[in-house]
């Protein structure tokens, strides 16, 4: 299953956001912009931004995650979030020798389906290796014919071979990446990917990411999560129909992070 690590983030992220907000609403100069920003005043600034919907200052805090144990299918989904930076392990430069793969829970739960799935993965591995060797042999001959040194020819031939052999690899193939998003992009990401209707793999990663940033910047992300936490479900007739269950789930996540929860009935107003 996926594993998410918070690698680094803006030092004192909430203070950075509060300083930017302070500049917008006071005559403070850059030299004294952080003066007086106690923990209490910083929290007040951050919460005020959420209340009035002024989101641009929160872009000054960014968070970098290491994500591993996810599929190439996941990669196609997360990169739809365009205001972010991605560094992904390349199948063009890294040979997939005995590649790992993600097994969807619905398949893992059914022995017959799981057995068929594993056979498909094993077949893909064999086809990938066979294609690599066929292409590598031809490329090596061509490079040697051009006068390239033998060792260099072998390296160049393999690189060129796996560029094309990788096309046979499945969406299930395991990958890893480093992802950086600013806090505003993260909040948008959580609204979409923590939703029950998000695909299971990216929803799992989104929830792990949210738990991590809640520890790093609790005031900044105290209201983060699917859209239904603060209003009606935006999915209309496509709704999962479990809004109260979702709210209770995220209430528990926030409580676990030590965040003060409004009295019953105040959430979602």
Output the tens digit of pLDDT for each of the chain's 269 residues: 899 999 999 999 999 999 988 888 778 788 888 888 888 889 888 888 888 888 899 999 999 999 999 999 999 999 999 999 999 999 999 999 999 999 999 999 999 999 999 999 999 999 999 999 999 999 999 999 999 999 999 999 999 999 999 999 999 999 999 999 999 999 999 999 999 999 999 999 999 999 999 999 999 999 999 999 988 899 888 999 999 999 999 999 999 888 876 654 444 43
Instruction: Determine contact, residues 169/128, Cβ cutoff 8 Å.
Output: yes
What is the rounded distance in angstroms from the CA atom of residue 267 to the CA atom of residue 269? 6
In this structure, the strands spanning 85-88 and 174-182 are antiparallel
The H or E element spanning position 17 is helix 13-25
Could you give the residue numbers annotated as active site? Answer: 193
In the sheet that 3-9 helps form, which strands lie side by side, from edge to edge?
A: 3-9, 62-71, 174-182, 85-88
Instruction: Determine contact, residues 81/189, Cβ cutoff 8 Å.
Output: yes
* Chain-centroid distance, C-alpha 18: 25
Instruction: Determine contact, residues 28/61, Cβ cutoff 8 Å.
Output: no
């Amino acid at each position: 299953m996926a594993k998410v690590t918070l690698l680094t983030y803006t030092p004192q992220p909430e203070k950075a956001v509060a300083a930017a907000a302070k500049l917008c609403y006071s005559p403070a100069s850059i030299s004294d912009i952080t003066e007086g920003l106690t923990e209490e005043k910083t929290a007040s600034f951050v919460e005020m931004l959420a209340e009035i919907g002024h989101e641009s200052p929160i872009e000054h805090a960014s968070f970098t995650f290491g994500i591993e144990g996810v599929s190439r299918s996941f990669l196609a989904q997360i990169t739809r979030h365009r205001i972010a930076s991605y560094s992904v392990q390349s199948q063009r430069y890294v040979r997939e020798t005995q590649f790992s793969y993600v097994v969807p829970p619905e398949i893992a739960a059914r022995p017959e389906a799981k057995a068929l799935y594993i056979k498909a993965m094993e077949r893909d591995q064999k086809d990938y290796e066979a294609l690599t060797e066929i292409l590598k042999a031809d490329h090596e001959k061509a490079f040697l014919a051009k006068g390239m040194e033998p060792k260099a020819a072998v390296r160049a031939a393999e690189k060129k071979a796996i560029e094309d052999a990788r096309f046979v690899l499945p969406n299930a193939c395991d990958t890893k990446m480093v992802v950086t998003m600013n806090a505003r992009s993260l909040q948008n990401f959580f609204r979409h990917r923590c939703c029950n209707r998000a695909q299971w793999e990216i929803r799992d990663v989104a929830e792990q990411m949210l738990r991590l940033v809640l520890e790093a910047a609790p005031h900044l992300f105290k209201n983060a999560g699917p859209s239904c936490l603060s209003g009606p479900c935006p999915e209309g007739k496509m709704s999962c129909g479990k809004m109260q269950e979702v709210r209770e789930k995220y209430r528990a996540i926030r409580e676990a992070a030590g965040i003060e929860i409004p009295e019953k009935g105040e959430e979602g107003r």
